[in-house]
Amino acid sequence: MCGFCKDCMKETETKLYHSELILNTKNISKSEGLGSKVELCLECYEKMVISEQIEYWKVHILEEKNRSVR
Ligand SMILES: [Zn+2]
């Protein structure tokens, strides 16, 4: 299977990444059902997954902090 990585701009084996999770967080309700996806090579895909997990934990830790303050 051959695709085009939008991050490193080269033809390679790709996976579709659900970009709305981190890139369009504010528009989730508006773009519901559209499900914008980004084509990424395996390397970039993993980078995105990792950065998404980091974002997730940042939010999670913030929530925990806010809870303990109250
Ligand atoms: Zn790539």
Give the residue extent of every domain in the chain: 2-69
Instruction: For the chain, give the percent of residues with pLDDT over 90.
Output: 60
The CA dihedral of 43, 44, 46, 50, to the nearest 10 degrees, is: 140
Alpha carbon of 46 to ligand 1 centroid (Å): 10
Enumerate residues with CB within 5 Å of ligand 1 (an ion).
Answer: 5, 7-8, 41, 44
Alpha carbon of 65 to ligand 1 centroid (Å): 35
Q: What is the pLDDT of residues 32-43, one digit of tens each?
A: 445 678 899 999
CA 7 to each of CA 34, 39, 64: distance values in angstroms, whole numbers, following the listed order: 21, 8, 33
Instruction: List beta partners, residue 18.
Output: 37
Record the pTM.
0.65
Q: What is the DSSP string of 16-28?
A: EEEGGGTTSGGGT
